[in-house]
A and B are shown apart, each in its own frame.
Chain A
């Protein structure tokens, strides 16, 4: 058993942290307040070669695994979750193309990601389809050599700014079995009938773009189908270990950022003629926050490392996701408490962390769904 990061992993962490501190930290508040997409940071990150970490080498990426991606996510989210998500999500949906795509699809859809020439997304949720993914109602019908797509997709990251999306559609409504009959099809945002409405008023991660996609008779060529027709749901399910581990890393990052802010504020802020860090009430908060963050980190790294070994870790990924997101919410809450009144306004980053943390308990499977999965695995009930 080896808990040490390799030199290479340390180098990744340091360089990403340096980027986050220099380029993101000074503008994080502005993008949060104005709820605007951080185009100029995306451009800087593209120039710096920090995008598309897991895209294969031959398509211009760094071919990094889940553990390295987790380290990158942690460092970015520790500075700003909204911009951090904007950076790590430019390749959302790429997993499906990497695993099931043809060479032509890989060239078309993967190559522009590391250079920042394109931003992609994954479109699964619908207005009436959240946790119950198998209830997807967006229809794709074959017409000659084209797919004709109709339906609405909800809460789509990068929805109003992206170039193309891997859309989960129902292609064979008559297929037998609850999980059959779905397909993953790439839909470009410049197709006729494609419309996106940016969702505003979000509690947190406000720099990240979220939109509803409205697809009305959108026609895409048949070669936009990813993998096997009818197997889309099962293809999609394969990446839950990866995506849940990634959200766990987001939680660890948020907790890390909140911890650092709280520790530093507690040593600076003086009351009753001494720094508040002299008081045991504050000390115990700091101890708990750091201990739980470290536990979440270890769980997350273990999950990421196992995914990289090719292990099937449904239970572990759900444990990491559920626990790290809970730690993020709790730690951010305590960080605000330590800041007192100063934590209730956005002069300090903890107010942002407090709002940003909540989403990690909701997206990529809610806390409740994760607990269902853990229990199901423990009790051997299958799905």
Chain B
């Protein structure tokens, strides 16, 4: 069984930063593996350690610089990686869900995995749609916001998953393979990359591919979205002080939480 994990290097801004037009200068950015993808990688590596998956392949869309980050997925146990980049992507300031879907669809067709694991969303642009959009394009089954995967079920060709819905409600569902599962944080406890793993990862393959290699041209990744503005929202804080004894304060807190929508029935 083969597992494909989509991973992404995301940028985070430092405490102090400046916006220039619709971008932030490199000097204010730190790159890291997308948090949700870290959980997806862990889930895939656990499938491999349980003897269920034979191969774990990480795929990313990103420039050469992203290899430093992607290699951490290899250090944690993924067998190899595929990295797609192209001059046509270089110029784009935003890669929308349609473009990512078009690229990943081709990679999935080439790799032919049994399961695709994808983070629910990316820390930076946060569309939260790529995984499901990819499943739709491929005609795969899917489950979004998965916070538990019954590993034994995977072996029988059906993934029994628990999904997180709104308001604290959870859903149990079975998904026929091949399928795309979008992975929620908390599904597992991502490991640290071991020193030995980091060492070994340097020799693992990260295969670079262009759009042409995938049989795509620049038209396939044309954006329907345009980045028009970037600004820092004003922060506001709202503090409520409760008076009285513990019972009274707890009651007031409960009322407030209910009023704010916590704890749906």
Residue of A whose beta carbon sits closest to that of B69: A11
20 pairs across A/B with beta carbons < 8 Å?
A7-B68, A7-B71, A8-B199, A10-B68, A11-B72, A11-B193, A11-B198, A48-B192, A49-B197, A50-B192, A53-B195, A57-B196, A57-B199, A61-B196, A62-B195, A62-B196, A62-B198, A62-B199, A64-B199, A114-B196
CB <8 Å contact, B68 and A49: no
Flag B138-160 by CB within 8 Å of A: 1 or 0 each. Answer: 00000000000000000000000
CB <8 Å contact, A63 and B199: yes
Sort chain B's interface into a size bin: 10 to 19
Residues of chain B lying within 8 A (CB to CB) of residue A57? 196, 199
Q: How far is the CB of A227 from chain B (nearest CB, A)?
A: 27
CB <8 Å contact, B71 and A11: yes
Question: CA–CA, A7 to B198, complex, Å?
Answer: 10
Check A121 for interface membership: any CB of B closer than 8 A.
Answer: no
Residues of chain A lying within 8 A (CB to CB) of residue B173? none
Question: CA–CA, A49 to B75, complex, Å?
Answer: 11
Check B105 for interface membership: any CB of A closer than 8 A.
Answer: no
The residue that A8 contacts in the complex, of B192, B194, B196, B202, with Cβ under 8 A, is: B202
CB <8 Å contact, A60 and B196: yes
Q: How far is the CB of B46 from chain A (nearest CB, A)?
A: 14
Check B191 for interface membership: any CB of A closer than 8 A.
Answer: yes
Interface size of A by Cβ–Cβ distance < 8 Å? 20
Known contacts A8-B202, A11-B68; decide if A18 and B196 are in contact (CB<8 Å). no
Q: Give the contacts of A1-21 with B (CB-CB under 8 A).
A: 7-8, 10-12, 15, 18-19
Per DSSP, are chain A's interface residues mostly helix, strand or loop, or mixed?
Answer: helix
Residue of B whose beta carbon sits closest to that of A23: B192
Flag B51-86 by CB within 8 Å of A: 1 or 0 each. Answer: 000000000000000011001100100000000000
Residues of chain A lying within 8 A (CB to CB) of residue B194? 48-50, 62
Question: CA–CA, A64 to B195, complex, Å?
Answer: 8
* Highest count of chain A CB atoms <10 Å: which of B194, B195, B196, B202: B195
CB <8 Å contact, B191 and A48: yes
Residues of chain A lying within 8 A (CB to CB) of residue B202? 8
CB <8 Å contact, A19 and B192: yes
Q: Give the contacts of A229-262 with B (CB-CB under 8 A).
A: none
Residues of chain A lying within 8 A (CB to CB) of residue B68? 7, 10-11
Residue of A whose beta carbon sits closest to that of B72: A11
Q: How far is the CB of A246 from chain B (nearest CB, A)?
A: 16
